[in-house]
Amino acid sequence: MQTHEIRRRFLDHFVKAGHTEVPSASLILDDPNLLFVNAGMVPFVPFFLGQQTPSYSRATSVQKCVRTLDIEEVGITTRHNTFFQMAGNFSFGDYFKKEAISHAWQLLTGSVEDGGYGIDPTRLWATVYLDDDEAFSIWRDEVGVPEERIQRRGMKDNYWSMGIPGPCGPCSEIFYDRGAEYGVEGGPEADEDRYIEIWNLVFMQNERGEGTNKGDYPILGPLPKKNIDTGMGVERVAFLLQGVENVYETDLLRPVIDKAAELTGSVYGTDHTSDVRFRVIADHARTAAMLIADGVNPGNYGRGYVLRRLLRRIVRSAKLLGSEQPTMREFMIVVRDTMAPSYPVLETDFTRIENVAVGEETAFLKTLASGSALFENAAETVKSSGKSVIAGDQAFALHDTYGFPIDLTLEMASEAGLTVDEDGFRTLMAEQRKRAKDDAQARKHAHADLTVYKELLDRGATEFTGFDELVSEAHVLALIVDGVRVPVAKAGQDVEVILDRSPLYAESGGQIADIGSLTAPGLEAKVNDVQKIAKKVWTHKVTVQKGEITEGDVVLAHVDAEWRKGATQGHSGTHMVHAALRQVLGPNAVQAGSLNKPGYLRFDFSWQGALSDSQKQDIEALTNEAVASNYAVNTFVTDLDKAKAMGAMALFGENYGDEVRVVEIGGPFSMELCGGTHVGSSAQIGQVTLLGEQSVGSGIRRVEAYVGLDSYRYLAKERALLAGLSSSLKVPSEEVPARVEALVERLKVAEKELEQTKAKAVLAAAGEYVAKAKRIGSVLVIAEPAPAGVGGNDLRSLVTDIKGRLGSEPAVVALLGDVDGKVPFVVASSKAAQGLGVKAGELVASFGPKIGGRGGGKPDMAQGSGSDSAGIPAALDAIRDRVGELAGGS
Residues 432 and 498 in one domain: no
Q: Quick one: pLDDT at residue 615?
A: 93
Checking if the pLDDT of 627 tops 80, the result is yes
* Residues 188-247: tens digit of each pLDDT: 999 988 999 999 999 999 888 887 776 778 888 888 889 999 999 999 999 999 999 889
Between the CA of residue 831 and those of 97, 278, 804, 810, 859, what are the distances in Å? 82, 49, 11, 7, 9
Cα(812)–Cα(830) distance, integer angstroms: 6
Q: Is residue 466 part of a domain?
A: yes
Integer angstrom CA distances of residue 674 from 278, 437, 529, 570, 654? 42, 38, 20, 14, 10
**Contact by Cβ (8 Å): 769, 812:** no
Q: What is the pTM of this model?
A: 0.65
Q: Domain containing 581: what range? A: 564-705
842 & 863 share domain: yes
Per-residue pLDDT tens digits for 31-90: 666 788 888 888 888 888 777 888 889 999 999 999 886 677 787 877 678 999 999 999
Q: 746 in a domain, yes or no? A: no
- pLDDT at residue 654, as a whole number: 58
- Sheet strands (E) in 412-522: 419-420, 463-464, 471-481, 484-486, 488-490, 494-499, 501-502, 516-520
Say how many domains are in the chain.
5
Q: What's 694's domain CATH number?
A: 3.30.980.10
> Is residue 761 scored above 80 in pLDDT?
no
**Are the CB atoms for 91 and 227 separated by under 8 Å?**
yes
Distance CA 79, CA 682 (A): 56
- 760 within a domain of the structure (yes/no): no
Q: Is 578 marked as binding a ligand?
A: no
Contacting residues for 718 by C-beta, under 8 A, at least 6 apart: none
d(CA 175, CA 122): 11
Query: Does a structural domain hold residue 300?
Result: yes
**H-state helical runs in 765-824:** 766-770, 792-805
> Chain-wide mean pLDDT for the chain?
88
**Alpha-carbon distances of 828 from 427, 658, 819, 839, 856, rounded to whole Å:** 34, 73, 20, 8, 11
The helices-and-strands tally (H runs, E runs) of the chain is 26, 35
Q: Where residue 517 falls among pLDDT bands split at 50, 70, 90? A: very high
Helix (H) or strand (E) holding 451: none
| Residue 370 pLDDT level (bands cut at 50, 70, 90) | confident
Distance (Å, rounded) from C-alpha 778 to C-alpha 156?
71
Distance CA 245, CA 225 (A): 41
At 2 the pLDDT is: 93
DSSP 573: H
Identify the pLDDT of residue 343.
93
What is the predicted pLDDT for the residue at 547?
Answer: 95
DSSP assignments along 162-195, one per residue: -SSSEEEEEEEEEEEE--GGGS-SS-TTT-TTTE
- Is residue 509's pLDDT more than 90? no
What's the average model confidence in pLDDT over 465-469? 94
Which domain CATH number covers 876?
3.10.310.40
Model confidence at 334, pLDDT cuts 50, 70, 90, reads very high
* Out of 204-218, 451-465, 490-504, least confident range: 204-218
Residue at 816 is within a domain: yes
CA dist., res. 48 & res. 39, Å (int): 14
Judge whether residue 250 has pLDDT over 90. Answer: yes
Q: Do both 417 and 460 map to the same domain?
A: no
Interval 295-321 mean pLDDT: 87
Confidence (pLDDT) at 771: 87
More confident residue, 109 or 821: 109
Q: Which residues does 379 contact at the CB level (< 8 Å), separation at least 6?
A: 390, 412, 413, 416, 418
Q: What is the pLDDT of residue 444?
A: 45
What's the distance, CA 421 to chain centroid?
A: 31
CA pair distance 296, 82, nearest whole angstrom: 15
State which amino acid sits at residue 504.
Answer: L
Alpha-carbon gap, residue 105 to 74, rounded angstroms: 30
Domain boundary among 525, 559, 593: 559
- Given a contact cutoff of 8 angstroms between Cβ atoms, the answer to whether 100 and 201 are in contact is yes
Residues 308 and 426 in one domain: yes
| Domain end (from 688, 705, 722) | 705
Is 447 annotated to bind ligand?
Answer: no
Q: What percent of the chain has pLDDT over 70?
A: 94
pLDDT tens figures, 562-621: 999 999 999 999 999 999 998 998 877 877 788 989 999 998 887 877 889 999 999 999
pLDDT band of residue 875 (cuts 50, 70, 90) is: very high
Determine the Cα–Cα distance for residues 176 and 197; give it in Å rounded to an integer. Answer: 6
Indicate if 223 and 262 belong to the same structural domain: no
Q: CA end-to-end span of the chain, whole Å? A: 84
pLDDT at residue 749 is higher than 90? no
Residue (of 6, 18, 30) closest to 58 by Cα position: 18
Task: Average the pLDDT over 766-776 and give the result.
Answer: 88
Residue 728 in domain: no
**Annotated binding residue 284:** no
Give the model's pLDDT for residue 443: 42
CA distance 81 to 292: 17
Residue 630 and residue 490 share a domain: no
Between 148-162, 585-599, 669-683, the lowest mean confidence (pLDDT) is in 585-599
- Same domain for 32 and 168? yes
Q: Which of 705, 732, 753 is the last residue of a domain?
A: 705
Is 678 assigned a ligand-binding role in the annotation?
A: yes
Residue 398 has pLDDT above 90, yes or no: no
- Rounded mean pLDDT of 782-786? 92
**652 pLDDT tier (thresholds 50, 70, 90):** low
- Buried (b) or exposed (e) across 147-160, using 16+ Cβ within 10 A? eebbbbbebebbbb
Q: Do 557 and 503 form a contact (C-beta atoms < 8 A)?
A: yes
Q: Quick one: pLDDT band at residue 186, thresholds 50, 70, 90? A: very high
Residue 526 and residue 659 in one domain: no
Q: Is 752 within a domain? A: no
Nearest CA to 525 out of 488, 570, 485 is that of: 488
| Cα distances (angstroms) measured from residue 8 to each of 61, 106, 116, 741 | 10, 15, 11, 67
pLDDT for 577: 93
Q: Is residue 456, in this structure, part of any structural domain at all?
A: yes
Lowest mean pLDDT among 23-37, 240-254, 512-526, 718-732: 23-37
My answer on whether 827 and 879 are in the same domain is: yes
Both 555 and 597 in a single domain?
no
Confidence of residue 279 (pLDDT cuts 50, 70, 90): very high
Does 437 or 284 have the greater pLDDT score? 284
Q: Output phi, psi for 493, to 5 deg.
A: -90, 145
In 3D space, the residue among 518, 527, 516, 505 whose CA is nearest the CA of residue 554 turns out to be 518
Q: pLDDT category, 729, cuts 50, 70, 90? A: confident
In a shared domain, residues 131 and 112: yes
Inform me whether the pLDDT recorded for 170 exceeds 70.
yes
pLDDT of residue 878 exceeding 90, the answer is: yes
886/60 Cα distance (integer angstroms): 78
Q: Which of 28-37, 151-160, 790-799 has the lowest mean pLDDT?
A: 28-37
Same domain, 61 and 25: yes
The secondary structure of residue 51, as a DSSP letter, is S
